Copies of this chain bind each other. A is one copy, B any other.
């Protein structure tokens, strides 16, 4: 993700004055990440983050305007991991993508973090927007790409509602989690097969 005031972080375009210590950036995000994994967003305290990162609160707030933004940045920084490589086969690529998606939420407090963003929705609307932009959208796009490729190959029904298919794929996880059911090992496979059954050519 990125800093607060500055533009895109990669383009340093230095002004005068002492530059920010890059090590501090990492220490803050790591501390936030660790605390959220341990205790969740609600129990995490800015003072705790500051102490663990060996930094003062002011230093944090110079980078992120609020606790929730820090949390979001921390998560985003963590989620920048390599997506699964494509084999070319629609079904197995989708399954791999869904496994990836599931692992992103399976770690401790994964859904709790999502809940926090939702809870904060009305207080900080742009937060949900960033959440969508950095976390939701990339994954959905990856799935969409696979579905459209399959559509172009005529593997799917020409009138298939791809957006709806996406929702069913991704949403199955949420519903399953909320219902409290345990996740079977072949969960991704079953979901993908079920959805494909409804839209295949």
Contact = CB atoms under 8 A, between A and B. Distances in A.
Interface of A: 39-43, 108-109, 111-123, 128-129, 132, 136-137, 140, 161, 163-176, 178-181, 190-191, 194-195, 197-199
Contacts of A165: 194
B119 A115 contact: yes
Shortest beta-carbon contacts, A-B, top 4: A115-B118, A171-B171, A198-B198, A171-B175
A143 to B, nearest CB: 11
A113 to B, nearest CB: 8
A164 B191 contact: yes
Given A172-B164, A175-B170, A194-B161, A118 B122 contact: no
Given A164-B172, A174-B175, 16 more contacts: A40-B119, A40-B123, A111-B118, A112-B122, A113-B119, A115-B120, A118-B118, A161-B194, A164-B190, A164-B194, A166-B175, A166-B179, A168-B171, A168-B175, A170-B178, A174-B178
Contacts of A111: 118, 121
Q: Which DSSP category, helix, strand, loop or mixed, fits chain A's interface?
A: helix
24 contacts: A40-B123, A41-B119, A42-B120, A108-B122, A114-B115, A115-B116, A115-B119, A115-B121, A118-B119, A119-B119, A128-B180, A132-B178, A136-B179, A140-B179, A164-B190, A167-B179, A168-B172, A170-B171, A171-B171, A171-B172, A171-B175, A174-B174, A174-B175, A198-B199
Given A171-B168, A172-B164, A118 B112 contact: yes
Nearest to A43: B123
B161 A167 contact: no
Contacts of A39: 122
Contacts of A168: 168, 171-172, 175, 191, 194-195
A94 B171 CA distance: 18
Contacts of A119: 40-42, 112-113, 115-116, 118-119
